[in-house]
Amino acid sequence: MIEQARIYLDYNATAPLRPIAREKMMSALELIGNPSSVHAEGRAARALMEEAREQVARLVGARARDIVFTSSGTEAANLALSPAVESAGRAKPLSQLIASAGEHPCVLKGHRFPLAAVELAPLAADGRIDLDALEAAVSHADEGRVMLALQGANNETGVIQPVAEAAAIVRGRGGVVVCDAVQLAGRAPCRIERLGADFLILSGHKLGGPKGAGALVSAPGAPRIGAPLLRGGGQERGFRAGTENVAAIAGFGAAAAAASEEMDNEARRLQGLRDALLRHISAAAPDAIVFGGKAERLPNTLCFGVPGVPAETLLVGLDLAGVAVSSGAACSSGKVARSHVLSAMGVEPALAASAIRLSLGWRSTEEEMARFGDIFAHVLAPMRRNRSAAA
């Protein structure tokens, strides 16, 4: 009997490395020069890195000179979310951070504002930020002293946030907008000018690049980034000291270029696969509930719950059967925690505890969706029987 390959449905956590990214990384690893050196070897390394900077910039409609490479999206968030961010003409520093209640932990925990200066903007039941509540919060803050942190798309539900509308509210009063575009970039339109954000946060491994490379992107005319996290040499225009990880950056750039080139066709393909997944799930569990299903979502993401079936039990069962998924909740040290995103959406705790997230990507296939349907039905059936017997 031929053993079938595992089915990977956790692209929002990390995507498999694209072959083009691996190829670019292997070429970079052959280079011996430091990109800060002026000799030929150093210039070769620098050229590869600057090519990647151009590729990442094109992905989000930015200028290459406005890309600061970091080790991750988390580091980029920590760099941007600071009251030290400067702006021409601002008499006083930023004094308040407003973040949506569904932000990733790298935003909720990665800022440099005093905790007393942080306010969470609520989510509506569909998972989108409550714009009326945001406007009220901004109107009560000091003019021009507010920073908004808002995801482009939520990592758990895939719900796409109204970044442009929120940015108009905040920037209309002279505030600063930081958008965590880690899940959005390469999967849906993510041009920094149209989003209206001052800064975008990116991560290479969500696109099929390597882990260990991220970026902070500034819009033209954006405030100057505040105090760097890492001090030392003058790398990344003084905003991120330390010899750059040339191989990881090169892989990031190659993945960004591939994602940008195929995005429109890939979005249609993935939405078709996602819809097929939902049909299989509904056939096995007609009472399954899709979280954020009434809002615009990323084409690759499906977060659902089967009432009465704990996410952890279903996740383990699927894993043992050869399917990699994640809980809708954040995972820390292998333990499934209650989802702050679903709580912010007003989902009842018992239902939120059933949340499973499926996320697709460049290597996902129709055949895998059909296999998942069979496996899901097989794994779920005894769980439902046991629940009925216990009742």
**What pLDDT is stored for residue 11 in this prediction?**
98
Q: Would you place residue 332 in the very low, low, confident or very high pLDDT band (cuts 50, 70, 90)? A: very low
Q: How many domains does the chain have?
A: 2
Catalytic residue among 106, 179, 190, 331: 331
Task: Say if 367 falls within a structural domain.
Answer: yes
pLDDT at 226: 84
Q: For the domain that residue 278 is a member of, what is the CATH number?
A: 3.90.1150.10
Quick check: is 2 in a domain? no
Query: Of 197, 230, 257, at which residue does a domain stop?
Result: 257
Task: For residues 74-79, give the mean pLDDT.
Answer: 97
Regarding whether 149 and 42 lie in a shared domain, the answer is yes
171 with 232, same domain? yes
Lowest-confidence pick of 99-103, 164-168, 314-318, 331-335: 331-335
106 is catalytic: no
Does 285 lie in the same domain as 250? no
Kindly report, residue by residue over 24-68, the tens digit of the pLDDT.
999 999 999 999 999 999 999 999 999 999 999 999 999 999 999
Does residue 1 belong to any structural domain of this protein?
no
pTM over 0.85: yes
Q: Report the DSSP pairing between strands 289-290 and 301-305.
A: antiparallel
pLDDT of 334 > 60? The answer is no
- Domain match, 321 and 240 both: no
Q: Six-digit token pair at 259?
A: 């994602």
How far apart are alpha carbons 388 and 383 in whole angstroms? Answer: 9
Share of the chain above pLDDT 90, in %: 87
Tell me the residue range of the domain where 220 lies.
19-257
In this structure, are 279 and 253 located in the same domain? no
* Cα(151)–Cα(161) distance, integer angstroms: 7
Bridge partners (DSSP) listed for residue 302 = 358
Pair 329, 342 in one domain? yes
pLDDT at position 206: 98
What whole-number distance in Å separates Cα of residue 99 and Cα of residue 81? 10
E strand spans, the chain = 7-8, 67-70, 96-100, 118-121, 146-151, 176-180, 199-203, 214-218, 289-290, 301-305, 323-324, 326-327, 331-332, 335-336, 355-359
Show the tokens assigned to 76: 């980029």
